[in-house]
Amino acid sequence: MHTPRNAKLSPASRLAHGGGGIDPATGAVVPPISTATTFARDEAYRLTSPTHLYSRDDNDLTRQIEALIADLEGGAEARLFASGMAAIAATARMVKPGQTILMQSGIYWGTTLWMRKHCQHMGIALIEANAADGTRFCETLRECGPALVFLEVPSNPFLEVADVRAISEAAHDCDAVVAVDATAATPLLMRPLELGADLVVHSATKALNGHSDVLAGIVSCRDADSDAWRFLREERHDAGAVLSSFDAYLLLRGLRTLSLRMERMCANAQAVATALEAHPAIETVLYPGLVSHAAHEAARRQMNGGFGYMMSVLVKGTAADALAVAGRLSLIKRATSLGGVESLVEHRYTIEGEASGIPVNLLRLSIGIESAEDLIADLTAALDPLIHRA
């Protein structure tokens, strides 16, 4: 595919064109799907195409997406994986037995649980610390001397916002690699590599694709010559956690509307958060776009164009009260995930259990592209019975 002539195009324009242009072979404005897994050689056993040997690494659709995401991140290179967790697992596997991982506490339970099991199995020390307290987190970092610092910004489901720049500076003083899971922000709202992180991870299943029909993950790097990136390139190739060509096509199709979707989702989330903060049945709204949120100033410094599409609310009452609110929702669907065009609600305690430390009255909301007025009306109708009960 020909790339656009104007290298200074905005992210919205680059996304709309899928990071490319017209297919020179056919004139197609949408790149073709190649289902081939292997590629022919000539009589002298030379590759017919020097860049096509086997589809595990040699898929043109995958390469186009990787170039687009790396460009959006302000990074050097990117690699797609079969899921967000596959991308996170590959990142963690660069740490050797006997070394240490310093991980932000209170992040996505799937990441936390996998890290605990992996580190125990591999003889890696895992230290979990509150990154919202940047000073104390950096002190812990200097004390433990980790090989990898893993952050999630904003965090899921507490929406904490770690100071990526300050933590990256402290980590590099200790020769640690910094990886940031920025799934809840996307490259349109925050670019951790430009704040000093070495790697940025996304579950592309979420907002990057945006339609709840693809599992994918991606890792981008700041320095393509670093040891960390060489490991990740080989890990993706050798371990084989790759994306299928059809899933790559769907992901690229979703990326074309990312700018529009994020604009609408962030505006909706801000409106919903503001309305919920004023509702008498809500104890707390966790959304960095609210001035009342402890991470508001940190988010304002690091995020541009909005504060994201995800929020959590603490319902006044018990687990049963929170579940009842979720059960009364009509427009907002009860399902596990986030970042899609449809709004979703999840009772995190039911999913994760007591060991996760999730409050029993917490509901996580992923706000979609519906009418903000309809979303607020749905939530209000579900919450009002709590204030009218005897």
Give me the active site residues, please. 56, 108, 181, 206
Backbone torsions φ then ψ of 334, nearest 5 degrees:
-90, 105
Among 99, 72, 178, smallest CA distance to 131 is for 178
CB atoms within 10 A of CB 291: 9
Contact status, residue 201 vs residue 91, Cβ threshold 8 Å: yes
* Residue 278 burial by Cβ neighbours in a 10 Å radius (0-12, 13-18, 19+): exposed
Burial code of 36-48, b = ≥16 C-beta within 10 A, e = fewer?
eeeeeeeeeeeee
Give kind and range of the element (H or E) at residue 372. helix 372-388
Contact status, residue 363 vs residue 315, Cβ threshold 8 Å: yes
Residue 259, token pair as written in the block = 């700018």
* Residue 94 burial by Cβ neighbours in a 10 Å radius (0-12, 13-18, 19+): buried
Q: With the C-alpha atoms ordered 327, 336, 297, 102, is the resulting torsion angle positive or negative?
A: positive
Say how far apart CA 179 and CA 11 lie, in whole Å.
Answer: 23
Sheet (strand 310-315) strand order: 282-286, 310-315, 362-366, 344-347, 333-334
Residue 42, token pair as written in the block = 């000539």
Contact status, residue 85 vs residue 215, Cβ threshold 8 Å: no
Say how far apart CA 73 and CA 200 lie, in whole Å.
Answer: 8
Backbone torsions φ then ψ of 24, nearest 5 degrees:
-65, -25
